């Protein structure tokens, strides 16, 4: 961390801890305690929503499970705090795994519905299982005893504050680590994650489990904080509020979670009485107007775009003076303000402020060592056993309905060679790669790689056994930097687990630094060292293709599949591409190259196989294939059509 940031963080924590000394009114202490508890839920929810890009409307249910785990343990067993909190975390994490199951099958609105059903079922179960939960009566409990000390509102505040800061640090560490990159990669491109050896299946479950653990911790604290829990606290409204809070505050941001939590706790209170509402609405109108003026002056917004928010906020201010009481209007106004924020501030409040002040997203802190700069050892040398067979496909049939995209194709790839795969559009080249990397399971036929069958194994398993690839339509993790993209490819170099990451053990720090060094080395290898901290989606198309190759190399593959790497590259870029594909082979990596640029194919390949309508029509040296009548005809026919 930068020194100024560290000082800022220490200052903020000190202020937080001093709050109950300065403000002695228990009402405000309780309010801030609630905000901190909600923040813990939101840190976890942001992992699922912000990073992996899944929707969850089940988090109020998880929060309830945490609360009831603590409540039941206290009521039935008079369990102490040191038992209830870990139990709540573990039990809720278990339910998180359950909630992850639908996410493995469905996404988007369907997932939202299934997770919502999960939350509802939890609420019903709590209501019905009165032998355990006392049903609708709810459970009363005291503030906990810690180290023989009966906590009161103020000392409980300190407990929550310490746990919240710890939760923040742990979540932050997780998200900055290889685990966080795996979560974010899922959102960017699930197919590419799998093909980089990062199992989408496993990391979706992890994300839900970790997220649920935090919801459980928060839930148990909530039970102690309210000293009373009942089933209808964990309802639909709360789950929607949680989701809105993450989006409003700003996803992929811890400060965003804090802001979101503060809004969902404070805004309803601010709307409680009419005088307060007048202050809020006038303040909002002034803020919106100022934003509009500044935005238009700087050319970032147009008059039309700003008209609705300005008129809307003025109307709200007008309404506040017209209304006599708040009671009937509170919820509707609350809803309107929330919708407004979500609609107009897509990156949340934190994103908006960052944009307005022209601040960059905080760059990943990396320490660049000499090894990285020298680009040394970026490419490890694969075992060279030249001229033995590394991959064998025989009689591969891939059928999509009635279409035989691959029809009885056999391939033999020799170790250490560059094997060209050519053919007209739609002849089945990309399908072959998808079959080799486990994206499709062939209808019939056998494939062995390094002596082991590939058929039926998952893409991530195949990737980890040494096959890396690029994609015809580039599949990068768009919101991640170039370096982070390559680091996802280096995921397999980490042995550190969740505990290593949370504690920052020497093992984790060593692996993490090694991944930075190698990542930068690989970027340098493909000539992208200058763009290491640029988000992948902002790179020009040609550079994106090069980045994909660097990411694939990070996997230390024995076999590299390149699907039209030269497509969209300029002539000088293609020349460069040729030199480093050669370099890759010099390191002993075998390459299968799909390419339309004949000069590239002819100048580099040792062997070329030609596909047409899913069948192999020719094979041999480049010159031999080029002269083949059937090949000429296939290409001419393709061009005529």
Q: Identify which of residues 433 and 522 has a Cβ nearer to Mg ion in the complex.
A: 433
- In the shown chain, the binding pattern of residues 277 to 316 toward Mg ion, with x for contact by CB under 5 A and - for none, equals ----------------------------------------
Residue burial 121-160, b: 16+ Cβ < 10 Å; e: rest? ebbebbeeeeeebbeeebbebebbeeeeeebebeebbbbb
- Do 40 and 204 form a contact (C-beta atoms < 8 A)? no
Nearest distance from C-beta of residue 613 to ligand ADP, angstroms: 9
Q: Identify which of residues 281 and 430 has a Cβ nearer to Mg ion in the complex.
A: 430
List CB contacts of 247: < 8 A, sequence separation 6 or more: 49, 260, 342, 348
Q: Identify which of residues 435 and 454 has a Cβ nearer to ligand ADP in the complex.
A: 435
Q: Identify which of residues 433 and 532 has a Cβ nearer to ligand ADP in the complex.
A: 433
Nearest distance from C-beta of residue 191 to ligand ADP, angstroms: 12
470-529: contacts with Mg ion (CB under 5 A): 472
Nearest distance from C-beta of residue 45 to ligand ADP, angstroms: 34
Residue 318 to residue 314: CA distance in whole angstroms: 6
Give the distance from CA 353 to its chain's centroid: 23
Three-state DSSP class for residue 608: strand
Nearest distance from C-beta of residue 428 to ligand ADP, angstroms: 4
Nearest distance from C-beta of residue 565 to ligand ADP, angstroms: 13
Helices then strands, each counted (H, E), the chain: 27, 14
Q: Identify which of residues 425 and 579 has a Cβ nearer to ligand ADP in the complex.
A: 425
- Do 603 and 397 form a contact (C-beta atoms < 8 A)? no
Contact partner at residue 428 from Mg ion, ligand ADP, none, CB < 5 to 8 Å by partner kind: ligand ADP
Contact partner at residue 360 from Mg ion, ligand ADP, none, CB < 5 to 8 Å by partner kind: none
Q: Identify which of residues 345 and 594 has a Cβ nearer to ligand ADP in the complex.
A: 594
Nearest distance from C-beta of residue 427 to ligand ADP, angstroms: 4
Q: Identify which of residues 89 and 611 has a Cβ nearer to Mg ion in the complex.
A: 611
Contact partner at residue 323 from ligand ADP, Mg ion, none, CB < 5 to 8 Å by partner kind: none
Residue 349 to residue 588: CA distance in whole angstroms: 50
- In the shown chain, the binding pattern of residues 344 to 363 toward Mg ion, with x for contact by CB under 5 A and - for none, equals --------------------
How far lies 299's CA from each of 187, 291, 320, in Å? 32, 12, 32
List CB contacts of 637: < 8 A, sequence separation 6 or more: 424
- Do 88 and 82 form a contact (C-beta atoms < 8 A)? no
What residues line the site for ligand ADP (CB under 6 A)? 400, 403, 405, 423, 425-431
- In the shown chain, the binding pattern of residues 391 to 430 toward Mg ion, with x for contact by CB under 5 A and - for none, equals ---------------------------------------x
Q: Identify which of residues 184 and 612 has a Cβ nearer to ligand ADP in the complex.
A: 612
Q: Identify which of residues 282 and 574 has a Cβ nearer to Mg ion in the complex.
A: 574
- Note every long-range contact of 127-130, with CB atoms under 8 Å and residues 24 or more positions apart, other chains counting: 127/231
Contact partner at residue 400 from Mg ion, ligand ADP, none, CB < 5 to 8 Å by partner kind: ligand ADP
Nearest distance from C-beta of residue 85 to Mg ion, angstroms: 54
SS (H, E, C) 167-233: HHHHHHHHHHCHHHHHHHHHHHCHHHHHHCCCCHHHHHHHHHHHHHHHHHHHHHHHHHHHCEECHHH
Size of the site for Mg ion (CB under 5 A): 2
Sign of CA dihedral 4, 9, 10, 16: positive
- In the shown chain, the binding pattern of residues 445 to 474 toward Mg ion, with x for contact by CB under 5 A and - for none, equals ---------------------------x--
Nearest distance from C-beta of residue 473 to ligand ADP, angstroms: 10
Nearest distance from C-beta of residue 449 to Mg ion, angstroms: 21
Name beta bridge partners: 194: none
Name beta bridge partners: 469: 561
Q: Which residues bind Mg ion (CB under 5 A)?
A: 430, 472
């Amino acid at each position: 961390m930068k020194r100024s940031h560290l000082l800022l963080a220490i200052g903020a924590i000190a202020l937080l801890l001093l709050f109950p000394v300065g403000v002695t009114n228990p009402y405000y202490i309780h309010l801030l305690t609630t905000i901190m508890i909600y923040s813990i839920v939101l840190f976890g929810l942001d992992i699922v929503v912000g990073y992996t890009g899944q929707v969850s409307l089940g988090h109020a249910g998880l929060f309830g499970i945490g609360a009831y785990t603590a409540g039941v343990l206290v009521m039935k067993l008079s369990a102490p705090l040191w038992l209830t909190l870990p139990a709540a975390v573990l039990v809720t994490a278990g339910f998180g795994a359950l909630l992850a199951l639908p996410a493995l099958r469905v996404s988007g609105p369907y997932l939202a519905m299934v997770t919502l059903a999960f939350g509802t079922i939890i609420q019903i179960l709590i209501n019905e299982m009165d032998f355990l939960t006392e049903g609708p009566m709810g459970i009363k409990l005291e503030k906990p005893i810690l180290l023989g000390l009966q906590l009161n509102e103020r000392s409980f505040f300190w407990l929550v504050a310490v746990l919240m800061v710890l939760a923040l640090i742990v979540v932050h560490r997780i998200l900055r680590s290889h685990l966080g990159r795996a979560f974010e990669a899922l959102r960017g491109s699930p197919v590419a994650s799998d093909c980089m050896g990062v199992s989408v299946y496993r990391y979706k479950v992890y994300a839900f489990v970790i997220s649920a653990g935090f919801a459980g911790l928060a839930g148990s604290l909530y039970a102690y904080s309210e000293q009373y829990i009942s089933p209808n606290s964990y309802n639909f409204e709360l789950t929607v509020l949680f989701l809105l809070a993450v989006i409003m505050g700003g996803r992929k941001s811890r400060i965003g979670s804090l802001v979101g939590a503060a809004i969902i706790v404070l805004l309803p209170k601010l709307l409680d009485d009419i005088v307060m509402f007048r202050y809020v609405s006038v303040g909002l109108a002034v803020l919106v107007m100022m934003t509009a003026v500044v935005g238009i002056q700087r050319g970032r917004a147009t008059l039309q775009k700003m008209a609705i928010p300005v008129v809307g906020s003025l109307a709200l201010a007008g309404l506040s003076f017209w209304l006599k009481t708040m009671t009937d209007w509170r919820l509707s106004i609350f809803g309107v303000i929330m919708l407004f924020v979500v609609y107009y501030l897509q990156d949340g409040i934190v994103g908006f402020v960052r944009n307005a002040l022209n601040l960059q997203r905080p760059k990943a802190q990396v320490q660049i060592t000499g090894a990285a700069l020298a680009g040394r050892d970026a490419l490890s040398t694969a075992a060279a056993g030249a001229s033995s067979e590394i991959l064998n496909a025989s009689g591969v049939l891939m059928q999509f309905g009635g279409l035989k995209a691959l029809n009885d194709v056999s391939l033999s790839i020799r170790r250490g060679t560059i094997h060209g795969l050519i053919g007209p559009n739609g002849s089945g080249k990309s399908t072959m790669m998808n079959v080799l990397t486990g994206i499709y399971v062939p209808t019939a036929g056998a494939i062995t790689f390094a002596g082991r069958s590939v058929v039926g194994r998952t893409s991530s398993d195949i990737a980890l056994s040494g096959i890396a690839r690029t994609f015809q339509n580039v599949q990068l993790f768009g919101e991640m930097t170039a370096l982070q993209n390559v680091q996802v490819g280096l995921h397999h170099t980490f042995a550190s687990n969740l505990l290593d990451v949370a504690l920052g053990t020497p093992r984790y720090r060593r692996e993490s630094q090694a991944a930075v060094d190698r990542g930068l080395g690989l970027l340098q290898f493909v000539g992208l060292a200058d763009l290491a901290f640029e988000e992948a989606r902002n790179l020009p198309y040609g550079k994106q293709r090069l980045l994909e190759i660097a990411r694939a190399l990070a996997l230390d593959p024995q076999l590299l599949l390149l699907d039209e790497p030269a497509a969209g590259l300029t002539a000088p870029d293609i020349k460069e591409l040729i030199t480093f594909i050669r370099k890759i082979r010099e390191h002993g990596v075998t390459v299968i190259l799909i390419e339309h640029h004949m000069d590239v194919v002819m100048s580099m390949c040792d062997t070329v196989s030609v596909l047409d309508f899913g069948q192999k029509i020719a094979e041999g040296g480049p010159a031999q294939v080029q002269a083949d009548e059937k090949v000429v005809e296939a290409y001419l026919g393709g061009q005529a059509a």
